[in-house]
Structure 1
Amino acid sequence: MMVVKKLIEDRLSVDIISMSPLSGGDINDVYMLDTSAGQFIIKSNYREMFPNMLEREAKGLKQLGKSGVTTPEVIDHFEHDELQVLILQYFEEERANKEFWMYFAQDLSNLHQSSHTFFGLDYDNYIGSLQQANEFKSSWEQFFIENRIKPLIKKAFDNKLLSESHLNSFEGFFTVFSELIPVEPPSLLHGDLWSGNLLCSAGQKPVFIDPAVYFGHREADLAMTQMFGGFDSAFLNFYNDCFPLEKGWQNRISIHNLYPNLVHLILFGRSYLSGIENVIKRFTRKN
């Protein structure tokens, strides 16, 4: 990191006083930089393992920011030897209160009202350490099945996490998918909206970080907020006031969370399998 430290000092024309490691998951090394020009966040990883990951993260942050939500400013992005490096604006955090959840609901509804003709994105990116294919599709059914579920069930099958019978069950589920999800225009999504990717900054301002952006069905973002907890339930009422949801959206949470559950099945193992099986059985049996 000493070479990177010198590179950062030269690129930003600053003196680095200290570099403090932060929790950054299993993919990135993350540091808070204290410099002569203030504080920054630095993220780095091995570019051969995760090609273009941090460049795509920078693009995603900028795209979210254009919709009006607050994201860290991208200060710099570069590659050096085997590393890729991203330097971001640092935010002081504070404890969230009811006001924060109201602001978050307003921001999320504004984000979701940014639309596109098609579902997808003009570049691929990542969710966690897995590559995420965003080829444009004309319907949510086609995009969700072809770009999200099928690539992961193939990967899980190849890794011996799913069986042939699981693949057959998914095929049955695909035949009824269009009957389960209401048609809506594409919305710009954060794409990986669990509580660890949302900060409460000074003045109760929500800050969206670590996106996996694409244009999709907005219920997918809302479903993700319900997967691991950490979101005050009041925000859903605020959101519904700003951008009313189609009736029965709560019953569709588990459908859209098939995608992140398959991601977690591949990354973390079989503890996620029974939940996936239950969703497929539940909605296929009904039809």
Structure 2
Amino acid sequence: MNLLQEVIRHIFGDESSDNVRLNSIGGGCINNTGWFEWKGERFFLKWNHNAKDLFEKEELGLKLLKEVNSLAVPEVLGRGKSIESDFLCLSYIPKGIETKRYWELLGHGLANLHQNTNESFGLFFDNHIGRLPQSNKPKSSWIEFFITRRLTPQIKIAERYLDKTTQKKFEILFNKLQNYFPDEPPALLHGDLWSGNIMSGKESSPYIFDPAVFFGHREAELAFTTLFGGFDKTFYASYQESFPLRPQFQERIDIYNLYPLLVHVNLFGSSYLMEVNRILQNFV
């Protein structure tokens, strides 16, 4: 029995799947992705030969985002393990057009998401950023959380790329962070919000997926969106209209983005180090 047959048996309880075809979708950096049709409906499938608990934590993240109902997410249909791979089956979202309305709805929806708060920074479960572990053990202070749960673990993983001078600059930066971050309550974040994890569905409805959820500083999420080309200016205007950011946010963007940049160093190699060093040079 192949992967797709096992998926259909596990989710739909049906053995008659010999003629169903799995159509591969390119672009995934961590997992294999594809779609298939079953009884006239299309479904999205992710699979990985060594997913460990990646899909379990992704399912938890999607369900949490669905509960708060701020932005649409794919429906989780099932998760399991075949002889070949771990898999996660989701509803298939037909791709729509990225109109001005789409960016407006995305901005307002994200502002709504960020107004879901918590007593502390973190979450009741750990998860992943890409395939890397992401600790969400709670902290009452954003600065402490950012240092101990975000930057320090990635610095340790990246030790083979970071010379002593760079590591020392991080230590100096840590002692200066109290001068930069405005005091705000924890906000529920998608956690990995870039252009590859959003899309327009039917009637320009925005969808978000592949979450790395936690309660963090909302500015960190907005900063993340500026990486790799950024979002349409309508998105930022709509967010600002719904939930205005504190003054001088633009000056803090680079500090927040040290985390995703270190993640990219650890996932894809040293080509991202130049940007990390540039930021450190500007703030230390």
TM-score, scaled relative to structure 1? 0.93
2:3, 2:83 within 8 Å by CA — same for their partners in 1?
A: no
**C-alpha distance in structure 2 between counterparts of 1:56 and 1:170, whole Å:** 30
Q: Could you tell me which runs of 5 or more consecutive residues in structure 1 were left unpaired when the two chains were aligned.
A: none
Corresponding position: 1:17 with 2:20:
yes
Q: Give the length in aligned residue pairs.
A: 279
Q: Displacement of 1:24 after TM fit?
A: 4.4
Could you list the per-position Cα deviations for residues 210-231 of structure 1 after superposition, in whole angstroms to 9, with x for gaps in the alignment? 0111100011111111001151
Which sits farther off after the overlay, 254-263 or 81-90?
A: 81-90
Which sits farther off after the overlay, 188-197 or 24-33?
A: 24-33
| Other-structure match for 1:74 | 76
Amino acid in structure 1 at the alignment position of 2:236 = L
SS of residue paired to 2:89: strand
Corresponding position: 1:36 with 2:39:
yes
Amino acid in structure 1 at the alignment position of 2:147 = I
Amino acid in structure 1 at the alignment position of 2:226 = Q
Once the two structures are superposed, the pairs formed by residues 40-189 of structure 1 within 5 Å of their partners are 40-47=43-50, 50-68=51-69, 69-81=71-83, 83-157=85-159, 160-189=160-189
Q: Displacement of 1:141 after TM fit?
A: 0.2
Q: Displacement of 1:128 after TM fit?
A: 0.9
| Other-structure match for 1:238 | 238
SS of residue paired to 1:199: strand
| Other-structure match for 2:271 | 271
**C-alpha distance in structure 1 between counterparts of 2:210 and 2:27, whole Å:** 10
SS of residue paired to 1:40: strand
**C-alpha distance in structure 2 between counterparts of 1:208 and 1:196, whole Å:** 9
Amino acid in structure 2 at the alignment position of 1:248 = Q
User: Aligned residues: percent identity?
Assistant: 39
2:3, 2:85 within 8 Å by CA — same for their partners in 1?
A: no
Amino acid in structure 1 at the alignment position of 2:141 = S
SS of residue paired to 2:48: strand
Q: Could you tell me which runs of 5 or more consecutive residues in structure 2 were left unpaired when the two chains were aligned.
A: none
1:219, 1:249 within 8 Å by CA — same for their partners in 2?
A: yes
Amino acid in structure 2 at the alignment position of 1:99 = R
**C-alpha distance in structure 2 between counterparts of 1:9 and 1:239, whole Å:** 40
**C-alpha distance in structure 2 between counterparts of 1:8 and 1:46, whole Å:** 14
Could you list the per-position Cα deviations for residues 163-205 of structure 1 after superposition, in whole angstroms to 9, with x for gaps in the alignment? 1111111000000101111011000101110101001000110
Could you list the per-position Cα deviations for residues 210-255 of structure 1 after superposition, in whole angstroms to 9, with x for gaps in the alignment? 0111100011111111001151012111101100100111111111
Amino acid in structure 2 at the alignment position of 1:5 = L
1:17, 1:36 within 8 Å by CA — same for their partners in 2?
A: no
Could you list the per-position Cα deviations for residues 125-165 of structure 1 after superposition, in whole angstroms to 9, with x for gaps in the alignment? 111111111111111100100000001111111xx200111
Aligned-residue RMSD, C-alpha? 1.4
SS of residue paired to 1:191: coil
| Other-structure match for 2:2 | 3
Could you list the per-position Cα deviations for residues 12-47 of structure 1 after superposition, in whole angstroms to 9, with x for gaps in the alignment? 146463211012423211111111140100111123
Q: Displacement of 1:105 after TM fit?
A: 0.7
**C-alpha distance in structure 2 between counterparts of 1:10 and 1:80, whole Å:** 10
